[in-house]
Structure formats: C-alpha cells, structure tokens
Amino acid sequence: MVVSQGEDLVDEVDITSSAADDATVDASPKGRCAGARILVFGLLPTLVLLLSLVCGFLKWQVGEADAAGSARAAAVQAAADGGVALLSYKPDTVDNDLNAARDRLTGDFRNSYDTLIRDVVIPGAREQRIASIANVVARGAELVSSTHAQVLLFINQTVTVGDSAPTSTASSVKVSLDRMGGRWLISAFDPV
C-alpha cells in the first residue's frame, strides 16, 4: 500500500505540474500582449514627452547663452566705439566730433562731459590746434547683465599740439554702460 500511495502522489504531482505548464503556456501570449500594450500606450508616450521636455529646455538654454553672448559683444563694441569717439578729435571739426560722442553717453557722466568739452576741450583744441587720435588695442567685459555692463579698455592715444611732434600715451579705462532704448550708453569712464 505504501508503494501505491507513493505512486498516487507522484501521479498527482505530475498532474499538478502539467496543469501549471498548461496554464503558463495559455497565459504567456496574454501576458506578452498586456506588456506590449503597457509599453506602447504608457511607457513610450511618457518617454517621448520627457525627451521633448529635455530638448525644449536645452534649446532654451542655448538661446539664453546666445542672447548673453550677443549682449556681451554689443556692450564691448559700444564701449570701444564710445571710447574712441570720446578721445578722438581734430581742431577743425572738434565741435562735431565731440558733440557726436556726447550722443553715446547717459546720466551724470553726459552732463559732466558736456561741461568739460564746452569749457575746456573745444576752446583749447581750437586755440592751440590740438588733434587727438585714440585706438583701442585690447578690450574685455568684466560684467554684463541685461541692463548694465562694465568693460575694460586699453587705449593708445596720440596727441598733436600745433606743429609739434605727436606724443603717445597708453592708458586703461573702466567703462560702465547702461542699456537704454536698445542701445548701450556710457555712464562712467574711469581711468584704472
């Protein structure tokens, strides 16, 4: 009897294991189909959305970097052009030269520059036949935001008084600029 019970147990185990194998075989296509649906309708759209968000963020970052680079280049160029305009004039055209330079200025600096050229520089240039030529030999931005910038200029200036030999000087200037009406205007011009 013991032997026959063991055989019955073996048969039951075989029946149970074969039923489990049959269930696995039957459930496998349904399980694959459900997994594919989850992948296609859930995971892939989520992945596409996340990739779209990342691409949009990266494009925004590149745009911001380009805008900052453009602002930096525009501020440095405005400082260099303004520095040359402030320091360059000829005795015959000193009024036009320096008044045109005044249009590149703003704030208190514009007022003090206007007083200086009207009371000192223009009369002296006419009387003594003074000519000045300035060249920016190096330049670099120290600080640039959307509305304010500080630029360091290295300037060579050659001054000729009457018929005498020209004299040259080299100087460095810290130029502060404010963005007003879409233009960078000089608000300070300080020797360093």
CATH of the domain at 148: 3.10.450.230
For the chain, the domain total comes to: 1
Can you read off the two tokens belonging to residue 17? Answer: 């294991």
Residue 17 lies in a domain: no
Residue 36 lies in a domain: no
pLDDT digits (tens, 9 = 90+) for 42-98: 777 787 888 888 888 877 777 766 666 788 899 999 999 999 999 999 999 999 999
Are residues 159 and 141 in contact, defined by beta-carbon separation less than 8 angstroms? no
Q: Using a pLDDT cut of 90, give the percent of the chain over it.
A: 60
> Domain limits at 134?
74-191
Kindly list the distances between the CA atom of residue 94 and the CA atoms of 12, 156, 159, 160, 185, in Å, as whole numbers in the listed order: 114, 19, 13, 14, 21
Residue 48 lies in a domain: no
Are residues 109 and 188 in contact, defined by beta-carbon separation less than 8 angstroms? yes
Residue 90 lies in a domain: yes
- 163's CB contacts (< 8 A; 6+ apart) are 129
pLDDT digits (tens, 9 = 90+) for 123-133: 999 999 999 99
Residue 5 lies in a domain: no
Residue burial 123-147, b: 16+ Cβ < 10 Å; e: rest: eebeeeebbbbbebeebebeebeee
SS3 (DSSP) at 141:
strand
